[in-house]
Amino acid sequence: MFDKLDDLLMRFEEILNMLNDPAVIADQARFQKLMKEQASLQPIVDAYREYRKCRETIDDSLAMLDEESDEEMREMLKEELAQARKQIEELEQKLKILLLPKDPNDDKNVIVEIRAGAGGDEAALFAAEIYRMYVHYAESQRWKVETMDVEEIGIGGMKYVSFMITGQGAYSKLKYESGVHRVQRVPETESGGRIHTSTITVAVMPEAEEFEVVIDEKDIRIDVMRASGNGGQCVNTTDSAVRLTHYPTGIVVYSQTEKSQLQNKAKAFALLRAKLYDIEQQKAHDAEAELRRSQVGTGDRSEKIRTYNFPQGRVTDHRINLTLYKLDKVMDGDIQEIIDSCIAADQAAKLAKMNE
């Protein structure tokens, strides 16, 4: 591990020198690439420098203890030594986590799909609430949200909604949200006061670049039509909605949220690319069964991952046995604690796998 850290430190210093080179500054593409690499190495370098500093403290304290006869001074040195040793252990663990192989999709934007499952109108109402939960979370992260397609029901619910979240590290945080979300509560339409259980499914897909997924024009049928929905300017007046049918997979995507046919077409292609990229990701997950088992629910869309129990005001994440009694805050977008716990559990599983 330390040989690798020494190499990374050398590489970091080499990058800093290159970033001061006028020739590199003039080449903006190369400059940006090096800046990105520097940013990715910075946390590792900072932790490793701190580790080396603690090592020096330990060596100095041990050397001084051998020479020091004053008891009060010896006690101070022993205390300093104990603190440095504790810090060394923490930094070693931190460095192991920082050196874990990084998911190549972590820095990407995401496309999220929410579908109402079992529970009829109640499931659609809950789908709309989960959509708002993610919008509020994205806003707290200063990410941008763009709705791509939505199928609403008259009472404020959503049978289906797809949207893009644009922001640094969006996939690294939201990838653990894929799966079945279950709600337990008394629906507004229930006169007898009985608790119902409904479900929705959430799919979080990394945005795919054009070079990552090549779509052959012969494999696509493009249909344009008038948008449908709850009125608004240009709805039902122009052929702005776009539907793409991908023959090889049977995937159909639809975009109607923009006034411009060109914009809707771009959104539809972005969604189709994400879906095709996601299929390849799923195949890779299935091929690596051991890796799949070591991860915290980033692959299986049929997995029940979370329950939102309204009568008890609790949220339970079944993958990591985490229960929080702050449902109102969670539904308002305060899901960072859940996400952080999923990340920690995933890292712990990967570390355990690495140490086997």
Handedness of CA 254, 256, 262, 267 (dihedral sign): negative
Instruction: State mean pLDDT over 12-38.
Output: 88
Residue 355 banded pLDDT, cuts 50, 70, 90: low
pLDDT, greater one: 245 or 356: 245
pLDDT, one tens digit per residue, over 203-248 is 998 887 766 777 888 888 888 877 765 544 444 456 788 888 888 8
Question: What pLDDT sits at residue 299?
Answer: 44
pLDDT in tens, 253-264: 888 877 788 888
Q: How far, in Å, CA of 283 to CA of 238, rounded?
A: 40
CA angle centred on 236, ends 235 and 238, rounded to 5°: 85
Residue 45 lies in a domain: yes
Average pLDDT over residues 145-172: 89
Is there a single domain that holds both residue 18 and residue 42?
Answer: yes
Residue 57 has pLDDT above 50, yes or no: yes
Q: Which CATH number is 342's domain given?
A: 3.30.70.1660
For residue 354, being part of any structural domain is answered with no
40 & 156 share domain: no
Q: Are residues 297 and 320 in the same domain?
A: yes
One domain, residues 36 and 68: yes
64-110 pLDDT, tens per residue? 887 777 888 888 888 888 888 888 888 888 888 887 778 788 888 99
Q: Quick: pLDDT tens for 299-326.
A: 455 678 999 999 999 999 999 999 999 9
Shared domain for 203 and 343, answered yes or no, is yes
Summarize the confidence of residues 27-32 as an average pLDDT: 86
* 72 and 123 housed in the same domain: no
CATH code, 66: 1.20.58
Angstrom CA distances, 108 to 175, 192, 204, 352, stand at 11, 46, 11, 27
Percentage of residues in the chain with pLDDT exceeding 90? 28
Inside any domain, residue 356: no
Looking at the domain assignment, is residue 105 inside a domain? no
Looking at the fold, whether 65 and 128 belong to one and the same domain comes out as no
Q: For residue 103, is it within any domain? A: no
The rounded Cα 260 to chain-centroid distance in angstroms is: 30
In a domain, 104, yes or no: no
Domain termination site, one of 98, 127, 145: 98
Say how far apart CA 153 and CA 207 lie, in whole Å: 28
- Looking at the structure, tell me whether residues 92 and 122 fall in a common domain: no
Do 298 and 158 have their domain in common?
yes
The answer to whether position 59 is within a domain reads: yes
**Residue after which a domain boundary falls, among 28, 63, 98:** 98
Of the three residues 75, 98, 121, the one that is the final residue of a domain is 98
C-alpha dihedral sign at 254, 257, 261, 265: negative
Q: Let me know whether 216 and 266 are in one domain.
A: yes
Counting every residue written for the chain, the total comes to: 356
Range of the domain at 7: 2-98
Q: Can you give the pTM of this predicted structure?
A: 0.70
Kindly state whether residues 31 and 117 are assigned to the same domain. Answer: no
CA distance 285 to 289: 7
Q: Residue 32: inside a domain, yes or no?
A: yes
- The answer to whether residues 99 and 4 touch, using CB atoms and an 8 Å cutoff, is yes
Residue 279 has pLDDT above 50, yes or no: yes
Q: State the total domains in the chain.
A: 2
173 and 40 fall within a common domain: no
CA neighbor of 256 nearest in space, from 276, 232, 275, 278: 232
CB neighbour burial string for 160-182, b if at least 16 within 10 angstroms, e if fewer: bbbbbbebeebbbbbbbbbbbbb
